């Protein structure tokens, strides 16, 4: 019997593996591939389908609306907090306080 049912070939409209239907949802996320008229723009990645949340800075169109990383702020991966963070509470002011402390100690040592 098994020899009559070889491995399923997706999207060809033929039920090769005898499970009753052609395979139209390869990644199993519940959305048929666009190849067969479905909405899954990348049927091979279960994280990508029309109901998925767009994920920023991935360079991928997770929600299949044909726009990549829409609604995302441009975030520099080398400086995730941005300039405002590093200016107010970051290493700049920290280094300034450290320098003041060293200066104070040096002044005390000399007195």
Counting beta carbons within 10 angstroms of the beta carbon of residue 102, is it exposed (0 to 12), middle (13 to 18) or buried (19 or more)?
exposed
Start-to-end C-alpha separation, the chain: 97
Q: How far is the CB of 43 from Ca ion (least distance, A)?
A: 4
Q: Answer yes or no whether residue 31 interacts with Ca ion by CB under 5 A.
A: yes
Q: How far is the CB of 21 from Ca ion (least distance, A)?
A: 5
5, 14, 99, 100: which one binds Ca ion (CB under 5 A): 14
Q: Answer yes or no whether residue 39 interacts with Ca ion by CB under 5 A.
A: no
Q: Answer yes or no whether residue 15 interacts with Ca ion by CB under 5 A.
A: yes
């Amino acid at each position: 019997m098994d020899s009559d049912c070889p491995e399923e070939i997706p999207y060809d409209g033929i039920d090769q593996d005898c499970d009753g239907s052609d395979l139209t949802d390869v990644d199993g996320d519940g959305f048929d591939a666009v190849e067969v008229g479905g909405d899954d723009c990348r049927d091979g990645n279960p994280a990508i389908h029309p109901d998925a949340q767009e994920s920023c800075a991935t360079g991928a169109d997770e929600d299949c609306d044909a726009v990549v990383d829409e609604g995302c702020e441009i975030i520099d991966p080398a400086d995730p907090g941005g300039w405002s963070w590093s200016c107010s509470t970051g290493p700049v002011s920290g280094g300034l306080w450290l320098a003041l402390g060293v200066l104070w100690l040096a002044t005390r040592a000399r007195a």
